[in-house]
Amino acid sequence: MTPENDNTYIAGAGLTVEQPIVHTIESNFMPYAMSVIVSRAIPEIDGFKPSHRKLLYTMYTMGLLNGSTIKSANIVGRTMQLNPHGDAAIYETMVRLSEGYQALLHPYVRSKGSFGKAYSRDMAYAASRYTEAKLAPIAAELFNDIDKDTVDFVDNYDATLKEPTLFPVTFPSVLVNANTGIAAGMASSICPFNLKEICETTIAYIYDDTINIADTLIAPDFPIGGYLLYNREEMEKIYRTGRGGFKVRAKYTYDKKANCIDITEIPPTTTIEAIIEKIVDLCKQKKITDINDVRDETGLKGLKITIDLKRGVDPDKLMQKLFKMTTLQDTFSCNFNILIAGSPRVMGVGEILDEWIAFRTECVKRRLYFALTKAKDKLHLLQGLEKILLDIDKAIKIVRETEEEAEVIPNLMIGFSIDEVQAEYVAEIKLRHLNREYILKRTQEIQKLMEEIADIEGTLKSSAKIKGVIVNELKQIIKKYGEDRKTQILYADDEPEVEIEQEVPDYPVTYFFTEQGYFKKITPQSLRMSGEHKLKDGDKITQTEASTSSKHLLFFSDKCQVYKSRGFEFDDTKTSVLGDYVPSKLQFDSGENAVYMAITEDYSGYMVFVFENGKIAKVDMKSYETKTNRKKLISAYSDKSPICQCLYIKEDCEILLTSTNGRRLLVNTGAIASKTTKNTQGVAVMTQRKGHKVMSAELFTDNMLSSPHRYRTRSLPAAGKLPVAEDEGEQMTL
């Protein structure tokens, strides 16, 4: 059978066609990305995404501005006529707009039932068949004059209904309620501002767009409250560019009687569960030791996290630690990305107000044009009615004597010199209204209509009058819905930067470090009751030091790096276990091994590095101290020659070097200048013949050599001396 006779044959089926990847992305991914940006994730100048707008408009058409609440499932079902993306997504949108969820400063949905909480991950909302909702009173400001041609309407997805492209909001709602969204390749994060402050700022900006917005718009305001750490310079940058960040801190009180801290307001970027989990984790790691218990006591009275303290703990000092180490203090990042005429733009507050004022001006103008058209149409009808006043009997006669109904309108038009619209209006007047009193009352409206039309036309011609209309509306908004700030201002400049020193239990311990990189921390009591150390085959203990559990531990590796830790970060153990494998515990790089352990408290003294080529580097221990809590430092010592030994000394002392040719040299570290550069190559100390190298270096003690002066020298470098018979048996190994 030929392809021409085969009905299932498809030309080109199975062929592979090469296509540039750029063309594939443009034709396949870009339409999706633009759809997400324009129709889903980025809000428009009225402050809403399409999903919000479709839901709220559906509730408006259902008459939910008045009356009682109805089942949420009914609202969700009706909304699917405009938003066919599934009932779950619609209901989640309604939850976030509800007052019960507490995510907005001024919720648009009044809720009844369990709608969850924005500040809790585990407090879920009930199913839509159990909850009820209606529009909140402030939602009336979203639909004010929406039926007076103030905004454009478009067909819904199946062209059976009309829906607005924007809401004619009477206040800058885009800056009043928080709005976040993640699109493809861009995102939006708009923080909420106090309604009263935003309206007052807008009024001032309408009259003078050169004002400093930060003078009237103090700072963002969040529904949960808390404290905002105010930095004027950073806030002005956000207002100017639309990008930046600021810190929000939890609010707490101390109950002296119960010896506990009650946290009642938290940052908007975190949840109760995240805070409690972090505090529990810090307690397990023994980074916080002042807490007996932490629990969630959130109830009908609102959010509450209770922290039970140990006796004698300073609550303010503890909270300063928790602010540093948990999300009880967190950063809110701003990205004021808004769709303007279908294109995303990142704008400062001034630009946003410019765009909103322009949008609102257009809404007001369209409303005035609508009212003007209605008034002119009515005036036109009344002017026709006025002419009948001259001779009512004539009008009745014309109607009575006209044989055909279709001729009534033309005859009235001829008889009174009026147009078809006026004649139609006159012809439709009821018989009971064909009296002088009714007609006089109607015609008295003519003067009022003419004055109204003149007033509207005057307003349309004057930008100042239109601004006055907007300002009056904003003043009414302040009067009706204005509330005091919920988030209190804490001036960051007035608060000193407190360096929180981590408090940990400090008790005596003995540290053990083995040749293969195993570490043990054992208390004196456990050490007295223990037997021999358990070690891997071929392993041995190279360092033993009695100290305390709070000391800083520096583990130097064979890859010229140092890993920092603290004694309390390792668990207490016994001699009967292998201990912690340091490269695994501190997450060394692959194939990297620990070669030396330094224990310090204040980073005093020096690190001495003895290289096989006979050079010694003396590095100030302060070079390894960092202000931040860095766990890893690269270039901890030089890699120009293989390392023979690392030694930590608190003050200058003598070191005994032994070469593979048998020679020994006593070197005083005081003769070597200290360096702050960690990877310094050092200075030549012990000269080596070809084929030989330094094989050991150890701190010298008086009983190590019978004639120590023999191995000392006045000048460096030196070759050292061969040992005498008395010292042959004293040679030690690493």
The model's pTM is 0.71
CATH topology (fold) of 508-730: Neuraminidase (2.120.10)
- pLDDT value, residue 7: 64
Q: Which two tokens stand for residue 599?
A: 């224990």
Distance CA 163, CA 79 (A): 11
Residue 341 burial (CB count, 10 A): 8
- pLDDT value, residue 730: 47
Measuring CA to CA, how many Å separate 578 from each of 408, 537, 541, 555, 573? 113, 11, 11, 18, 9
- pLDDT value, residue 713: 86
Distance CA 448, CA 454 (A): 10
In the chain, where are the structural domains located?
A: 48-168, 251-327, 353-481, 508-730
- pLDDT value, residue 99: 94
Listed in order, strand segments (DSSP E) in 315-367 are 329-335, 337-340, 343-346
Domain 251-327, CATH: 3.30.1360.40
Pairing, β 227-230 against β 488-491:
parallel
Distance CA 179, CA 88 (A): 20
Q: For the chain, give me the number of helices (H) and strands (E)?
A: 19, 32
Please state at what angle helix 349-389 crosses helix 392-401, rounded to 10 degrees: 80
Distance CA 132, CA 125 (A): 12
Q: Give CA 120 to chain center in angstroms.
A: 16
> To which residue do tokens 């396949």 refer?
28
> Which of these CATH numbers, 1.10.268.10, 3.40.50.300, 3.30.390.30, 3.10.20.30, describes 353-481?
1.10.268.10
Contact 553, 509 (CB under 8 A): no
Distance CA 244, CA 665 (A): 61
207 is catalytic: no
Residue 455 burial (CB count, 10 A): 14
* DSSP H or E segment with residue 153: strand 153-155
* DSSP H or E segment with residue 474: helix 463-481
Asked if the bond preceding 192 is cis, omega within 30° of 0, the reply is no
- pLDDT value, residue 496: 52
Q: What are phi and psi of 34, to 5 degrees?
A: -65, -35
In sequence order, the 6+-apart residues with CB closer than 8 A to the CB of 285 are 569
Most distant pair of Cα atoms in the chain: their distance: 154
Measuring CA to CA, how many Å separate 392 from each of 384, 388, 480, 521, 651? 12, 6, 50, 114, 122
Instruction: Give the CA radius of gyration of the chain.
Output: 42
Closest CA to 200 of 477, 538, 522, 460: 477
Please state at what angle helix 463-481 crosses helix 349-389, rounded to 10 degrees: 110
Q: What are phi and psi of 489, to 5 degrees?
A: -90, 130
Q: Give CA 608 to chain center in angstroms.
A: 46
Which one from 32, 130, 207, 507 is the annotated catalytic residue?
Answer: 130
> To which residue do tokens 């607005």 refer?
164
DSSP-assigned letters across all residues of 571-637: ----TTS--EEHHHHTTPPTT--EEEEEEESS--SEEEEEETTSEEEEEEGGGG--SS---EES--S
Q: Is 408 helix (H, G, I), strand (E, B) or coil?
A: helix
- pLDDT value, residue 731: 47
Residues of the chain with pLDDT under 70: 1-9, 11-12, 492-505, 728-734
In sequence order, the 6+-apart residues with CB closer than 8 A to the CB of 546 are 508, 509, 510, 511
Sign of CA dihedral 41, 47, 52, 53: negative
The reply to whether CATH 3.60.21.10 applies to domain 48-168 is no
**Residues 345-384 pLDDT 10s:** 999 999 999 999 999 999 999 999 999 999 999 999 888 8
**Residues 431-470 pLDDT 10s:** 777 777 777 787 788 888 999 999 999 999 999 999 999 9
* DSSP H or E segment with residue 607: strand 606-611
- pLDDT value, residue 382: 87
Altogether, the residues listed in the chain come to a count of 734
